Amino acid sequence: MNKQKLRIAAFQRYPIFDDLQKTIAQLCTDLRWCQGQGIDLAVFPESYLLGYASDAATIAQRALPTDRPPFTQMLQEMSGFDTDLILGFFEQGAAGIYNAAAVIRQGQLMGLYAKRHPRERGVLAGHASPVFEKAGYCYGINICNDANYPEYAAELRQQGARLLCYPLNNMLAPATAELWRSKSVDNLRLRAMETGCWVVSADVVGRHEDKISHGCTCIVAPDGSIVARVAEGSEGVIVFDIE
C-alpha cells in the first residue's frame, strides 16, 4: 500500500505594497510552478496580498472584504490551479478588521483564520482555530505573533491537526530583527516538539524603508529538527513531502 503524503511548499518573498495586480501576477507565477511540481499546499507570508502595516490608517486602506471585488476577482484568477494556498491579508469583516489568512482551493475560499494575538493597531483578535484538510492531512494556521503562545498551537493539535502553518512577517527595525533572527526559529521548533506536529513557516525578506527581514521560512519536523529552510536574505521556496 502506498503511503499518503502531503507535498508542501513555503515561499519566502520580497514584500509588495499596495499593488494588488502585481501580487496576483506573482502568485499565479508561483502557483503555475507549484502545479508542475505536484504541490498540494503552498504557504505565503503574513499580509502578503497588499503588504503588512502596523498603523490603523494604512491597515484600513489595505483591508479587503472577501465577498466583493477585488478579492472575488482574485479568486477567479486562481480557479485553474490545483494547489491549495494559504494567503495572508487584512480582512474587512463585518465586525471590523482582522489580520487573516485565507485558505484557497481552485478559486474557492475554503475558510479563514484570524490572528489570535494581533499587535497591529485597530485590528480585532480572532477567537477560533479552524482546521482544514488536504490529501488526507489535517492542518491549522497560526500567524506570526501567535507563535509566542503555545496554547494556540495546542488548540489546533487537539482538533486533529498534524501540520501547523505559520505565515510570518518579520520586517522589523534592524535591532529588533536581529533579536528575532533566532527567536523565530526557536518558537517554531518549540511548537513542533510540544504538539508533535510538523511546522511550516513563510516569511518576507529584504529591506523596506528603515526595516529589514532576514527571512524565517522553514519546515520543522515533530522532533524539532529543521528539514528545509530558505537561505536568509534571499527569495526562494522550499518543498518537502510529509508522509
Segment 177-230, tens digit of pLDDT: 999 999 999 999 999 999 999 999 999 999 999 999 999 999 999 999 999 999
Name, in order, each residue with C-beta under 8 angstroms of 120's C-beta and a sequence gap of 6 or more.
53, 54, 56, 59, 99
Residue 123 within any structural domain of the chain: yes
173 domain-assigned = yes
What are the cell numbers at 227? 528539514
| 45 close to 88: Cβ distance less than 8 angstroms | yes
Q: Kindly state whether residue 153 falls inside one of the protein's structural domains.
A: yes
Q: Is the pLDDT of residue 66 over 90?
A: yes
Positive/negative CA dihedral, 146, 147, 149, 155: positive
Cα(135)–Cα(129) distance, integer angstroms: 20
Domain count across the chain: 1
98 occurs within a structural domain: yes
Contact 212, 177 (CB under 8 A): yes
111 is a domain residue = yes
Taking a C-beta distance cutoff of 8 angstroms, is the pair 189, 156 a contact?
no
**What CATH number does the domain containing 66 carry?**
3.60.110.10
229: amino acid identity, one letter: R
25: containing domain: 6-242
**Residue 1 in domain:** no
Could you report the per-residue pLDDT of 143-153, keeping only the tens digit for each? 999 999 999 99
The pLDDT tens digits for 104-148 are: 999 999 999 999 999 999 999 999 999 999 999 999 999 999 999
- Whether 104 is covered by a domain: the verdict is yes
Which phi and psi (to 5°) does residue 238 adopt? -120, 145
Give, in order, the Cα–Cα distances in Å from 140 to each of 82, 86, 187, 209: 19, 10, 16, 33
Whether the predicted model's global pTM rises above the 0.95 cut? yes
Which three cell numbers, joined as nine digits, stand for 30? 508561483
Q: Look up residue 108 and give its three cell numbers.
A: 474557492
The answer to whether position 172 is within a domain reads yes
Distance CA 35, CA 37 (A): 5
- pLDDT bin (cut points 50, 70, 90) of residue 1 is very low
